[in-house]
């Protein structure tokens, strides 16, 4: 397959996107005076004068009546739907602020070339354990090829031809750039970097053990990034309530100038956020360095 159609699909996937109150007042009660009979005259005996040596009666201090505070009014919870533009804009920053996480990305394509059906899948597994602590595993599932790199501070190792070799950090980073396009730290900015998606809020869902906001989108403007015609494009995004993207899944189908159809799917799952993750140096079987 000459990859004419699915490479632009890859570029297209990179810009895919998608009070009620109550109060109770106590009722006051008035006590009517007792009715007296007009025919009976009550005569009270005159009080006797106190003796000279009798002690004076102590004065009774006034008793303060307890103050009853009114109960606060009950306020019904207000459900807030986070708008997509705010959630998407802050997701990249929230992702960059995570100290550690794991992710798995699967990119697949299937299409036809001169009547023949061809397909392929690329998988990227990443472990981030802090600044300059990372482990990347890139696999071409169709060709059974693999690339792997580990970086710990100012040291790096590359797995090549069934053996680990230590390499300069700059070399390891340069070799990693081609596969990092599938990493969430790079792909998320590309997905929503150029076009503002038209997305609809679905609701809260638990994804990968994290409570997240679910958005869905159908974005016809992706057609401008195809060499032919875009037939369909849909996407779902789950953004954790803490702000970072925890999952996304995109599908795009189109036809190129030669009439060949193709479909691309892209899914990312992120887990173990801010967990204690340790990346260890591999065992080098050869003393040579790149």
Both structure tokens of 91: 């997701």
Q: What percent of the chain has pLDDT over 90?
A: 32
Q: What per-residue confidence (pLDDT) applies to 203?
A: 93
**CATH classification code of 80-271:** 2.50.20
Q: How far is C-alpha 130 from the chain's CA centre?
A: 19
Global confidence as pTM: 0.69
How far is residue 79's CA from residue 70's CA, in Å, rounded to a whole number? 27
Mean pLDDT calculated for residue range 246-253: 89
- Contact call for residues 227 and 256 (beta carbons, < 8 A): yes
Mean pLDDT calculated for residue range 94-98: 92
Mean pLDDT calculated for residue range 140-165: 90
Give the confidence band of 136 by pLDDT, cuts at 50, 70, 90: very high
Q: What per-residue confidence (pLDDT) applies to 48?
A: 55
Element (H, E) at 151: strand 145-152
Q: Is the pLDDT of residue 281 over 90?
A: yes
Q: What per-residue confidence (pLDDT) applies to 164?
A: 93
Element (H, E) at 91: helix 84-96
How far is residue 86's CA from residue 153's CA, in Å, rounded to a whole number? 34
140-174 burial, b at 16+ Cβ within 10 Å, e below that, comes to: eeeeeeebbbbbbeeebbbeeeeebbbbeeeebbe
How far is residue 90's CA from residue 167's CA, in Å, rounded to a whole number? 35
Helix count and strand count (H, E) for the chain: 4, 13
Beta bridge partners of 122: 107, 140
A 10 A CB-CB count for 290 gives 13
Q: What residue segments make up the domains of the chain, in order of their start?
A: 80-271
Mean pLDDT calculated for residue range 13-19: 38
More confident residue, 108 or 89: 108
- pLDDT (tens digit per residue) in 164-223: 999 999 999 888 887 888 888 887 766 654 444 567 889 999 999 999 999 888 766 555
Element (H, E) at 232: strand 229-240
Both structure tokens of 72: 């606060």
């Amino acid at each position: 397959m000459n990859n004419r159609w699915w490479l632009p699909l890859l570029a297209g996937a990179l810009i895919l996107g998608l009070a009620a109150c109550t109060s109770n007042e106590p009722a006051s009660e008035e006590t009517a005076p007792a009715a007296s009979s007009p025919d009976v005259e009550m005569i009270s005996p005159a009080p006797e004068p106190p003796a000279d040596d009798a002690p004076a009666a102590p004065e009774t201090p006034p008793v303060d009546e307890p103050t009853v505070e009114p109960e606060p009014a009950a306020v019904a919870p207000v459900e807030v739907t986070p708008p997509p533009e705010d959630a998407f804009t802050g997701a990249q920053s929230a992702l960059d602020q995570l100290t550690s996480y794991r992710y798995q990305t699967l990119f697949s394509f299937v299409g036809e070339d001169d009547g023949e059906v061809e397909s392929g899948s690329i998988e990227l597994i990443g472990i981030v354990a802090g600044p300059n602590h990372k482990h990347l595993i890139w696999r071409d599932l169709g060709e059974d090829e693999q690339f792997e790199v580990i970086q710990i501070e100012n040291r790096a190792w590359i797995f090549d031809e069934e053996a680990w070799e230590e390499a300069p950090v700059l070399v390891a980073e340069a070799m990693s750039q081609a596969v990092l396009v599938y990493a969430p730290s790079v792909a998320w900015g590309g997905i929503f970097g150029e076009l503002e998606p038209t997305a609809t809020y679905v609701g809260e869902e638990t994804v990968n053990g994290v409570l997240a906001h679910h958005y869905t989108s159908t974005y016809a403007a992706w057609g401008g990034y195809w060499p032919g015609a875009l037939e369909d494009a849909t996407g779902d995004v789950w953004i954790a309530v803490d702000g970072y993207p925890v999952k996304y899944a995109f599908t795009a189908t189109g036809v190129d100038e030669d009439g060949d159809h193709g479909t691309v799917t892209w899914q990312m799952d992120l887990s173990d956020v801010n967990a204690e993750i340790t990346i260890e140096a591999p065992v080098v079987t050869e003393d040579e360095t790149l």
